[in-house]
Amino acid sequence: MIDRSPLPDPIIDVRGLHYGVEGRKIFDGVDITVERGSITAVMGPSGTGKTTLLRLITGQSVPSAGSVKVFGEDIGGYGRQGLLALRRRMGMLFQNGALLTDLDVFENVAFPVRQHTKLPEPLLRRLVLMKLEAVGLRGAAKLMPQELSGGMARRVALARAIVMDPEILIYDEPFVGLDPISMGMVCRLIRELNDALGITSIVVSHDVQEVGTIADRSYLLAGGKVVASGNAEQLQATHDPAVRQFMDGLPDGPVPFHYPAGDYRSQLLDAGDLK
Amino acid sequence: MRPVKESIARIGSVALFQLSILRALGPALARPRLIVNQVYNCGARSLVIIMLCGLFVGMVLGLQGYQLLARFGSESALGVAATLGLLKELGPVVTALLFAGRAGTALTSEIGLMRATDQLTAMQMMAVDPIRHVVAPRFIGGVIAMPLLVAVFNIVGIFGSQLVGVTILGVDQGTFWSQMQNAVELKDVNEGIVKSVAFGVICSLLAVFEGYHTEPTAEGVGLSTTRTVVASSVMTLLVDYMLTAAFLNY
C-alpha cells in the first residue's frame, strides 16, 4: 500500500530514482518526499540500499536516472562548491558516530565551527558546551572518543551534527548496537531536537518499534522500490506480505530465509564443488 | 595485458592524487600547527630507529672501508669514503627505506582506519575537504621530516665509522677528519639533499595515497600498509638509480 497523498513544502524530493552498482540494480523507480519540519523514516531489510539513498541525497553518489531535489534544486546541479555549501546546511549522524579519534569530545563538537567560522574562543566554548548539555554529555567534554560507550559516542556525534544549526539532520542507523537505555535517549533526542530546533530529520533504520514512535511518516523499501509509506498506524494496517514480514519480523517470506542454492539432496550426496 | 593496464591506471591515479594535494597545499600551509604535528609524528617518532640504524651502518662502513682501503695502503682515506658513501647514497636510501617501514606504514594505517570508520566521509559531510585537512598536512610533514632524518642518519653514521675506524682500528684522528674536509664538496651534500627530498615526496605520497584509497575493511587496511612498504621501497631504489645517473651525467 503506497500513500500518495500530496505533501506540503517538500525539502527533499526524490522522483523516479534509479541507481545501480556494477550491474546490480539497487533502486528501480523510488519516490520519496520529505516535508519541512517532519521526521521521515526510511526503513527496510539490510541490503536494500538505505545508506545508499543517504549518499544520493547528500550528493556523494549520482543517480543513474530520476531526480533528487534538495531545497528545491537538483543535487546534480549544485557543483562542487554548491555541494560544500549545501552540506553546511545539513548534519549527519553516522552509524558508528565517526568521531575524529585524535580529538577529544569538546574538539570533535567544535571541529566544524573551527573549520567554517572565526568564532571567538569564549563564544565557541559556550556554543559547544550548550550542544553537549543538550545531549547530556557536558561532563564528558575532555574525554577521548576511545573512552566513550557506543551510546555516548552517538550522542557526541549528534552534538557535532547540530553545532552548525543545520536545516536537515540525517541519521544513518542511529539505534544499531545500542542498549535499551541509550536507544531511548537517542530516540528522545531525535524528537526533541527536531521540534526544538525546527530541523527536518531523516532517519534510516530497520528498528520498526523505535522508529514508529518518533516518525511522522515512514517509507518501507524492498526490492529497489518503496513498497509502503505512511504513518505508523497506516503501515501496521498493511496486508502486503513484504510489509508484514518486515513489520512482524518473520524469518521467512518474500525475503527468503535461504540464500538461493542448488538442490539440497544432490549437493549432500555429490562430493563436487559447491555452486 | 590486464596487470599492465591496472599498473598504468594506478600510476595515473597517484598522479591525479598528487595534483589534488598540490591544490590543497596553500590552505594546508595556512594551518602550520597541523604540519608541525605531522613533522613530529613522522620525524621525531622515527628518530630512535634512524639513529640506531645510522650508527650500525656507519660502523659497518668503517669496518668494510678499512678492510678494502688497507689493501691499497689507503686507510687514511676512510673518512672520505665513509662520508661520501653516506651523504650520496646510504644516508638517503636507507633512511627512506626505514621511513617507509616506520612512518609510511603509520600514515597509511591511520588514514586507512579513518576511511574504515567513516571519519573521512564525516568530514566531507561537514563540508571539510579531507585532502586539505588530513592528507596534505601529512604529506608536507613527511616531505619536511625526510631530509632532517637523513641529516641525523648521516651525522650518526659518520660518528659510527669514526668510532670503528679511529677508536678501534687505529686510523689517525687528524687524517680521518682533515681528508674528509678536503675531499667532500658542497655538491656532494646537495646530491644527498636532492635525493632525500625526492624520497620524501615518494614515500609520503605513496603512504597517503594507499591510506586514502584503502578498502574499508581490516584486510583492506593490512593490504594497503603492505603495498606502501613495497611500492615505496621499489620506487626509492628506482629513483635513486635515475638520480645518481643524472648527477653523474650519464
Q: DSSP H helical segments within A117-205, as ranges?
A: 121-134, 150-162, 180-197
Return the sign of the alpha-carbon dihedral for residues B38, B39, B42, B46: negative
Return the sign of the alpha-carbon dihedral for residues B104, B106, B109, B110: negative
Encode pLDDT of B130-142 as tens digits: 999 999 999 999 9
CB contact residues (below 8 A), chain A span 62-81, against chain B: none
Residue A253 pLDDT? 75
Cα distance from B167 to chain A (closest Cα, Å)? 47
User: Residue A39 above 70 pLDDT?
Assistant: yes
Determine the structural domain holding residue B193 and report its residue range.
Answer: 45-245
Which three cell numbers mark A183? 536507544
What lies within 8 Å, CB to CB, of A104 at 6+ separation is A141, A142, A143, A144, A145
Q: Give the lowest-confidence range in A108-112, A247-251, B49-53, B89-93.
A: A247-251
Model's pTM, two decimal places?
0.83
Q: Which residue of A has its CA nearest to B134?
A: A100
Give the C-alpha separation, A222 to A227, whole Å. Answer: 6
Determine, yes or no, domain membership for B73.
Answer: yes
Question: Which residues does chain A have within 8 Å of residue B133's beta carbon, measured at their own beta carbons?
Answer: 115
Residue A28 pLDDT? 87
Which three cell numbers mark A5? 497523498
Determine, yes or no, domain membership for B78.
Answer: yes
Q: How confident is the model at residue A275 (pLDDT cuts 50, 70, 90)?
A: low
In this complex, do B128 and A115 lie within 8 Å of one another by their Cβ atoms? Answer: yes
Give the C-alpha separation, B78 to B179, whole Å. Answer: 9
Q: Cβ(A228)–Cβ(A205) under 8 Å?
A: no
Q: Best interface-test mutation with A: which of B126, B132, B221 has the largest number of A CBs within 10 A?
A: B126
Determine, yes or no, domain membership for B27.
Answer: no
Residue A3 pLDDT? 47
Determine, yes or no, domain membership for B26.
Answer: no
What lies within 8 Å, CB to CB, of A55 at 6+ separation is A61
Q: Mean pLDDT throughout B185-194?
A: 93
In this complex, do B133 and A95 lie within 8 Å of one another by their Cβ atoms? Answer: no
Determine, yes or no, domain membership for B13.
Answer: no
List the beta bridge partners of residue B204: none
Instruction: Indicate the length of chain B as a whole number.
Output: 250
Q: Which residue of B has its CA nearest to A99?
A: B119
- Tell which residue, B24, B18, B201, has the closest CA to residue B123: B24
Q: Best interface-test mutation with B: which of A86, A115, A168 has the largest number of B CBs within 10 A?
A: A115
User: Residue A4 above 60 pLDDT?
Assistant: no
Instruction: Check CB contact of B121 with chain A, cutoff 8 Å.
Output: yes
Which three cell numbers mark A106? 569538546
User: Residue B36 above 90 pLDDT?
Assistant: yes
Q: Cβ(B87)–Cβ(B191) under 8 Å?
A: yes
Q: How far is CA A41 from CA A110, A171, A195, A213, in A?
A: 28, 9, 16, 11
In this complex, do A94 and B118 lie within 8 Å of one another by their Cβ atoms? Answer: yes
- Tell which residue, A37, A73, A32, A66, has the closest CA to residue A50: A32
List the beta bridge partners of residue A10: A35
Residue B165 pLDDT? 93
Q: Mean pLDDT throughout A48-72?
A: 87
In this complex, do A98 and B124 lie within 8 Å of one another by their Cβ atoms? Answer: no
- Tell which residue, A145, A144, A108, has the closest CA to residue A128: A108
User: Residue A109 above 90 pLDDT?
Assistant: yes
User: Residue A55 above 90 pLDDT?
Assistant: no
Instruction: Check CB contact of B114 with chain A, cutoff 8 Å.
Output: yes
Instruction: Check CB contact of B33 with chain A, cutoff 8 Å.
Output: no
Select from A88, A98, A160 the Cβ nearest to the Cβ of B121: A98
User: Residue A79 above 60 pLDDT?
Assistant: yes
Q: What strand order describes the sheet that includes A217-222? A: A90-93, A168-172, A200-205, A39-43, A217-222, A225-230
Determine, yes or no, domain membership for B9.
Answer: no
Q: Give the lowest-confidence range in A201-210, B63-72, B116-125.
A: A201-210
Q: Best interface-test mutation with B: which of A78, A81, A90, A92 has the largest number of B CBs within 10 A?
A: A92
Instruction: Give the three-state DSSP class for A209.
Output: helix
Determine, yes or no, domain membership for B37.
Answer: no
Instruction: Check CB contact of A85 with chain B, cutoff 8 Å.
Output: yes
User: Residue A225 above 50 pLDDT?
Assistant: yes
Encode pLDDT of B112-131 as tens digits: 999 998 899 999 888 898 99
Q: Mean pLDDT throughout B19-37?
A: 90
Encode pLDDT of A132-181 as tens digits: 998 889 999 999 999 998 888 988 998 999 899 899 999 988 888 788 88
Which three cell numbers mark B69? 682501503
Between A262 and B213, where is the model more confident? B213
Which three cell numbers mark B197? 627530498
Q: How confident is the model at residue B76 (pLDDT cuts 50, 70, 90)?
A: confident
Q: Mean pLDDT throughout B138-167?
A: 95
Q: Mean pLDDT throughout A209-231?
A: 85
Tell me A2's DSSP state.
Answer: B
Burial status of residue B229 (CB atoms within 10 A of its CB: 0-12, 13-18, 19 or more): buried
Q: Cβ(A26)–Cβ(A222) under 8 Å?
A: no
Q: Mean pLDDT throughout B144-165?
A: 96
Determine, yes or no, domain membership for B250.
Answer: no
> Residue A165, Cβ neighbours under 10 Å: how many?
13
B116: left (phi over 0), alpha (psi -120 to 50) or beta: alpha
Instruction: Check CB contact of B96 with chain A, cutoff 8 Å.
Output: no
Which three cell numbers mark B7? 599498473
User: Residue B185 above 60 pLDDT?
Assistant: yes
Number of domains in chain B: 1
Cα distance from A163 to chain B (closest Cα, Å)? 11
* Radius of gyration, alpha carbons of chain B: 21
Q: Cβ(A14)–Cβ(A32) under 8 Å?
A: yes
Q: Give the lowest-confidence range in A113-122, A167-176, A264-273, B151-160.
A: A264-273
